[in-house]
């Protein structure tokens, strides 16, 4: 935690007294509204466009429907809505938060998610449920990046955040695995506690690639008695 705070202080100091480059275009920034990327790069972040899978948001070549993966997989979530495409400035913001431990990026990410996924219009009885990260990663980072984003989303939308999923099995990082291993890496990794009974949950994660993380989290929530589970993610790999 101490190293994370020191990095935030250092970022703030250098942002005031020294020029800072946008992580995406490398131009020097005139303002720091979006923290680590410039306004132009932030506004150029690509939103997923129709036609797309009605369940997971995967772009489709023809009319909207379910993609092959969703037809073949048993989904425990009703649908998942990604805010944008995992590329450019959006990828850089997630990287700054997740791998460079820049906790202030959580607010930028949360605002983007709220704007692009209609979270502001989600019924009030839905609660935000962050996906837990590996304990070793949280210890190294000093905070859980998903919980940090969830806190800002809750403040902006008024939706409660419930930290009710526990990671009961340490797993390899999904981003380091091939697709085939990603599909099985998280099997049985999550458990939801008894507070999940009867709730409507919006499971929050950073990146949707195979859908394994959201689906396993949703499975744990449904097993614990949740009546409805949807997914909300910052970005989708395409």
pLDDT tens column, 196-215 = 999 999 999 999 999 999 99
- Residue 235's pLDDT is 97
Distance CA 144, CA 29 (A): 28
- Residue 185's pLDDT is 65
Residue 129 pairs in a beta bridge with 203
pLDDT at 175 over 70: no
For residue 169, how far is the Cα from the chain centroid? 20
Lowest mean pLDDT among 13-17, 59-63, 169-173, 227-231: 13-17
Q: 172 with 185: CB under 8 angstroms?
A: yes
For residue 153, how far is the Cα from the chain centroid? 11
Distance CA 33, CA 26 (A): 16
pLDDT tens column, 85-108 = 999 999 999 999 999 999 999 999
Decide: residue 81, CB within 10 A, 0-12 exposed, 13-18 middle, 19+ buried: buried
pLDDT at 169 over 70: yes
Q: Which of 172, 125, 128, 176 is nearest to 149 (CA)?
A: 128
Terminal CA-to-CA distance of the chain, rounded, Å?
Answer: 34
Task: Report the chain's mean pLDDT, rounded to a whole number.
Answer: 88
Domain boundaries of the chain, sorted by first residue? 2-236
Q: How confident is the model at residue 16 (pLDDT cuts 50, 70, 90)?
A: low
Q: 214 with 70: CB under 8 angstroms?
A: no
pLDDT at 119 over 80: yes
Residue 103 has a CB neighbour count (10 Å cut-off) of: 20
Decide: residue 8, CB within 10 A, 0-12 exposed, 13-18 middle, 19+ buried: middle
Distances (CA, A) of 175 to 93, 123, 167: 16, 32, 17
């Amino acid at each position: 935690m101490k190293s994370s705070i020191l990095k935030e202080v250092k970022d703030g100091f250098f942002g005031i007294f020294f020029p800072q480059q946008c992580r995406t275009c490398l131009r020097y920034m005139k303002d720091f509204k979006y923290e680590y990327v410039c306004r132009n790069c932030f506004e150029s972040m690509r939103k997923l466009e129709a036609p797309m899978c009605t369940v997971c948001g995967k772009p489709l070549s023809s009319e909207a429907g379910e993609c092959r993966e969703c037809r073949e997989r048993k989904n425990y979530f009703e649908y998942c809505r990604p805010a944008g495409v995992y590329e450019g400035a959006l990828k850089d913001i997630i990287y700054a938060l997740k791998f460079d431990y820049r906790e202030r990026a959580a607010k930028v990410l949360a605002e983007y998610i709220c704007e692009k996924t209609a979270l502001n219009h989600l019924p009030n009885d839905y609660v935000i449920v962050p996906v837990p990260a590996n304990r070793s990663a949280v210890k190294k980072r000093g905070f859980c990046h998903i919980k940090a984003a969830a806190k800002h989303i809750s403040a902006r939308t008024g939706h409660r955040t419930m930290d009710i999923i526990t990671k009961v099995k340490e797993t390899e990082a999904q981003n380091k695995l091939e697709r085939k291993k990603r599909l099985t890496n998280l099997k049985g990794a999550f458990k939801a506690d008894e507070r999940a009974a009867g709730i409507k949950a919006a499971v929050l994660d950073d990146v949707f690639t195979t859908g394994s993380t959201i689906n396993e989290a949703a499975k744990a929530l449904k097993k614990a008695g949740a009546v409805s589970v949807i997914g909300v993610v910052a970005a989708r790999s395409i």
